[in-house]
Chain A
Amino acid sequence: MALALPRRHARTAGAKTGTDLHRRRETRFAWLLILPTILGVGLFTAVPIVGSFVLSLFNYSIISPTKWVGLANYSALLHDSNAQHAFVVTIILTVGIAIAQVVVGLALAVAVQRRTGWARSLYRAAFFVPLLVSGASVSIVMSYIFDSQFGVLNYYLGLIGLPQVSWLDSTWGAIFTVMIVVTWQQLGFTFIVFSAALGAVPRELTEAARVDGAGGWRVFRKITLPMISPSILFTVTVGVINQLQLFDQPYVLTHGGPGNATQTVVLDIYEQAFQNLRFGYASAISVILFIVVLVATFLQFRISRRWVFYS
């Protein structure tokens, strides 16, 4: 790429040389180049964030006059047990899914790492493909599999003499099923990241450890895990941000039920905004969710200093 941001140079006092003018022109041109990105991020990220906050200070229902309510929406949120429950449900799902994705993704990546040739490519493709399918489509199919009365899974459980499970119509069954579906669908992401990270672990380190008498588990724990810890931090961070915004799977699988057992925060925001037409209140929940995501990400990076190893 020939066009690049010029370095700043100390300017010779009072002198506007040809080189100096050229650099200023270069700087202006560089700003021109990054202007579309600045506008894009500003228009589609910063403005909606600020807009959400502003909207959260109003009572806005599309079809009624907009009314300034100050912090009343936030005050209502403090007394809304359903919204608070949605935050608890979201945190439970986020933690469960994040742990499952890291553990299962890493286990699969290690297992596939030992394969060679076409088998490795086949497994990589097989684990990655669900990530390319929309969450809603996956959930529709899964709802037929996990249906308590007519589902495929309970049918086969019955064939081998096991009791029927209330996958989607009991509180913990529904939470567990949503976790399974989301983990299964998004596993390809952690799997691919861990596969790449495992491939980058220097073989001389693991071989040296083995020469020193370390067993497989010890090599994995003392060499491999620290070496891939930046990837673990990356997948956990991205996973937590994604799961805190979980919507498709609970919406299609359970509609947030039974009761509000799988009512996530974003599902609650959707219902408040687009079904109950309480856009101001939904925006207040969005702002709080934004802060939660921000704090969770900050905490992860702070805690990561203790366990992430950058070679």
Chain B
Amino acid sequence: MRTTRSAGHERLISRRCFLVGASAAAGLASLGLAGCATDRSPDSLVVAVNGTQAAAAAIKQAVGIPFLAKHPKVQLSIMAINGTDWDDYFAKVLTLIAGGLAPDLTTVATEGLQLFASKGIAEPLNDYVMRDKASLQGYFADVHPVLVESMMYQGDLYVLPTDFNCGNMFFDTVLLDKAGASYPADNWTKDDFYNLADKWATTQSAVAWDWVVRLWGSWTSWMYANNANLLTEGRWPGGSWMWDTFYPNDPAAQGRKGGWHWGAPTANDPAVVDALQYMVDLKNARLSASPDVGGGGTLQGLFASNHIAMTIGGGFWAGGLHAAGMTPDQYDVQYFPAWSVQKHLLGDAGYAMLKTSPVKEIAWEFMKSLTEPDALGALIAGNTSTPTRRSMMTASRYAPTGPAHWPVFYGTLDKFPNTTPIPAPPYYQELATAFAARTTQAMAAGSAKPALDGLQGDLESFVSAAAT
């Protein structure tokens, strides 16, 4: 750059040089911003995935490449979005949508199904499914109907479920042996659980029981076992198109309708209070740790390092514990114990098509390809979740990771027809926040009733706001 020297020997930049330099910088900045602008080609397909960039790359490799071989014109982009939990993931996806960067497909779990459906974000799949029913017969024949119904809202299907997890009980078998305890029976009860925890506490340094503050895999499992829920359970009418077409002779499909309808709040129902108070009592009896808030990563780490003897977990724990260094013989799983009933909670996930997608046909084709066994195998490689396809539940699949009683995962659906999704109404985001705050309030105060009275008030205000 041209410079001059003033009388005071300061090095000066000429005005012209400065203006030229500033203009060049502004031009470069404009070019940079222009490069950031989104300009979708008519054949581009954007898929948002709840996970890491590595997971997205794996999906692109395993599912994307075969798909692109059949659809060479498509430009596929798998977008990894990391969320601390589902509510965090949904918030990020909704922000993308608001910013005009809506993907065509996005991972949606039970937690967000009704939110996406009720707000008109997700596209109902009924017409697509019925149009391609011949090619989908094999898929639905392989998937338990409860997993399909939990992805329905007001009679419409929004997601072809790819994976699921029921709230089962995991054991550290090394600690189990040390305590001289044996693997519990499949019809074990809350009292059996307490006796086992107590036996552990007197013989072990590990904490007998731990859990995490979130809707899935929390004290909510005890609430289900006590035949209670935060919201009144009901069913939306409709859905016969699905059951009549794909499950006409399946006893497990009998009585199924158009998805779960979550009605009036019942958070301070005595049975709900008893369930949370039981957690407080376990903690006071030093049989339980204070739970963390979050997705459960810390809990898995503590369990894998033999600090916890029992906890709630689903099929995804097999992959998590294996990755954390546990061998198949170091842990096991059993159904959740009975209290007033033996009832399990459930969460499943899959991909929803967004209404705003300009490439719905391509998106539908990709969504179908995600339900193929090979694709499912890649999506949940290493047992990071449980496949919705029954045929994929094999001994060879669980041989590297364990647990020994892996049939419990799918068996929960078959053995317990009362298995019910977690209560995730359209106002799930608010519910999740209030649930976490009121649970930790109860644990800190040592009393469940005032906290659940507060939660009842919170939920009533959410229902009232949703109605307006």
Report the separation of the CA atoms of residues A179 and B309 in the bound assembly, to the nearest whole angstrom: 33
Is there an interface contact between B95 and A257, defined as CB atoms closer than 8 Å? no
Q: Is the interface of B mostly helix, strand, loop or mixed?
A: helix
Interface contact tally, CB-CB below 8 A: 79
- Closest residue of chain B to A260 (Cβ to Cβ) is B437
Residues in chain B near residue A260, CB distance under 8 A: 437, 441
- Residue from B88, B429, B432, B440 within 8 A of A258 (CB atoms): B440
Determine the distance from Cα of A242 to Cα of B451 in the docked complex, in whole angstroms. 32
A-chain residues with CB within 8 Å of residue B10 when the two chains form the complex: 2
Residue ID in chain B nearest A144 by CB atoms: B298
Inter-chain CA distance A166–B289, complex, in Å, is 11
Q: Indicate if A220 sits at the interface (CB-CB under 8 A).
A: no
Once the chains bind, are A63 and B445 in contact (CB under 8 Å)?
Answer: no
Whether B437 contacts A63 by the Cβ 8 Å rule is: no
Tell me the nearest residue of chain B to A64, going by C-beta.
B119
A2–B14 alpha-carbon span in the complex (Å): 9
Q: A62, B451: Cβ atoms under 8 Å?
A: no
Q: For the complex, is B60 an interface residue (Cβ under 8 Å from A)? A: no
Query: Is B453 close to A, CB under 8 A?
Result: no
B307: interface (CB < 8 Å): yes
Residues 276-302 of chain B, each 1 if its beta carbon lies under 8 Å from chain A, else 0:
000000000000011001100000001
With a cutoff of 8 Å between Cβ atoms, the chain B residues found around residue A171 in the complex are: 444
Q: Does A276 contact B (CB under 8 A)?
A: yes
Q: Does B68 contact A (CB under 8 A)?
A: no
Nearest residue in A to B90 (C-beta to C-beta)?
A: A275
For window 338-394 of chain B, which residues contact chain A by CB distance below 8 Å? none
Say how far B102's CB is from chain A's closest CB, in angstroms: 11
CB contact between A255 and one of B289, B302, B436, B451 (< 8 Å): that residue: B436
Cβ A257 vs Cβ B440 within 8 A: yes
Is B430 on the interface with A (CB-CB < 8 A)?
A: yes
Q: Are B429 and A275 in contact (CB under 8 A)?
A: yes
A271 on interface, CB distance cutoff 8 Å: yes
Write out, one digit per residue, whether chain B residues 89-126 have a CB within 8 A of any chain A CB (1) or not (0): 00100110110000000000000000000011100000
Question: Given A2-B13, A63-B121, are A148 and B290 also a contact pair (CB < 8 Å)?
Answer: yes
Contact A150 B307 (CB under 8 A): yes
B87 contacts the other chain (Cβ, under 8 Å)?
Answer: yes
- Contact mask A13-29 → B, CB, 8 Å, 1/0? 00000000000000001
Asked whether A257 and B430 contact (CB < 8 A) given A63-B94, A150-B289, the answer is no
| B444 and A63 contacting across the interface, CB-CB below 8 Å | no
B15 beta carbon closer than 8 Å to chain A? yes
**Closest B residue by C-beta to A261:** B444
A280 cross-chain contacts in B, Cβ below 8 A: none
Q: Number of A residues whose C-beta is below 8 Å from B?
A: 29
CB distance A258 to B443 under 8 Å? yes
What is the 8 Å Cβ interface bit string for chain B, positions 415-457, against chain A (1 contact, 0 not)? Answer: 0000000000000011011001110110111000001000000
B residues 1-28 touching A (CB-CB < 8 Å) = 6, 10, 12-13, 15, 18
Q: Which residues of A contact B94 (CB under 8 A)?
A: 62-63, 277
The interface residues of chain B lying within 8 Å CB-to-CB of A259 are: 437-438, 440-441, 444-445, 451
From 137 to 186 in chain B, residues with beta carbon under 8 angstroms from any chain A beta carbon are none
- Chain A residues contacting B97 (CB-CB under 8 Å) are 62-63
Please, how many angstroms separate the alpha-carbon atoms of A174 and B440 in the complex? Answer: 12
A-B contact pairs, 11 of them (CB 8 A): A62-B95, A63-B121, A64-B119, A149-B290, A169-B444, A255-B440, A257-B437, A259-B437, A263-B437, A275-B433, A277-B94
Interface, chain B (partner A; CB < 8 A): 6, 10, 12-13, 15, 18, 87-88, 91, 94-95, 97-98, 119-121, 207, 289-290, 293-294, 302, 307, 429-430, 432-433, 436-438, 440-441, 443-445, 451
Q: What 4 pairs across the A-B complex have the smallest Cβ distances?
A: A259-B441, A258-B444, A257-B440, A258-B440
Identify 18 new A-B residue pairs, CB closer than 8 A, beyond the known A63-B120, A150-B307, A257-B293.
A2-B6, A62-B95, A62-B98, A63-B97, A63-B98, A148-B289, A168-B290, A255-B436, A256-B437, A258-B440, A259-B437, A259-B441, A259-B451, A260-B437, A263-B437, A274-B91, A275-B429, A275-B432
